Amino acid sequence: GPERALISPPALTVISASIVGVIFATIGVAPFEAARVKMVKGGDTFAPNFIEGISRIAREDGASSFYGPKFRTLLLKDVPYAMVKFASYDAFKTIIYAAVPSLSESLRSSLVVSLVAGFLAGVSAATFSHPADTIFTRLNSRDKEAPGAPPVGPLTVAREMLEAGGPGLLYAGVGARAVFSGLLLAIEFLIYDAVRTWLHVGAEDLQLFMDVLAGVRGE
């Protein structure tokens, strides 16, 4: 009910919303991601566009193949990324404002804080989720299993990689991905906070919306 929404920590609300959002988004994206991987690997010989690629995969492997081991790995990659992305962004903003309170006094300085916190959040999210991203890439690069062979899942791929190169192999390329993610989220959160400021939407307004939503659900 409303009481639960009022006492829920804002960070917990953000994390919960990000998990739900990412799960639904991943369900919708999974067919396109499967087609993208096949098209990158096979080029135009596989399919000329996404629609044809999705149709071919559904025809040859069945629609359920979109939500097999590779889908679970995609969730293992995207859910932690989103959780750390939003939680760490709020945490870094809080830390920066606590250290230099005067930065909240002007729009320009507050947007600089958004830029810095967004970059740090992107680096944190990419670093935290990189092992799952590496496993997902390795899983998608494997050749199709022989008929009758058990499907290869993320745990099998992770074990193979650990045996081949140790934990360091799971973090191969993390530097470039962290910088790219940091720059991307810096711009994303800068635009987000700029638009939110322009529309005069504050954290209190977002919390009020959650309280009203919880009250409607409880009736």
pLDDT digits (tens, 9 = 90+) for 128-143: 999 988 888 887 776 6
Q: Using pLDDT thresholds of 50, 70 and 90, give the confidence band for residue 68.
A: confident
- Among 127, 110, 122, 107, which Cα is nearest to 173's? 127
Of the chain, the percentage scoring pLDDT greater than 90 comes to: 31
pLDDT digits (tens, 9 = 90+) for 106-133: 888 999 999 999 999 999 999 999 998 8
* Relative orientation angle of helices 154-165 and 69-99, to the nearest 10 degrees: 70
pLDDT digits (tens, 9 = 90+) for 170-207: 999 999 999 999 999 999 999 988 888 887 766 555 55
Location of structure tokens 């799960």: 23
Indicate whether 1 pLDDT > 50: no
List the beta strands (DSSP E) in 73-195.
none
What does the alpha-carbon distance between residue 126 and residue 175 come to, in Å, rounded to a whole number?
9
What is the model's pTM? 0.73
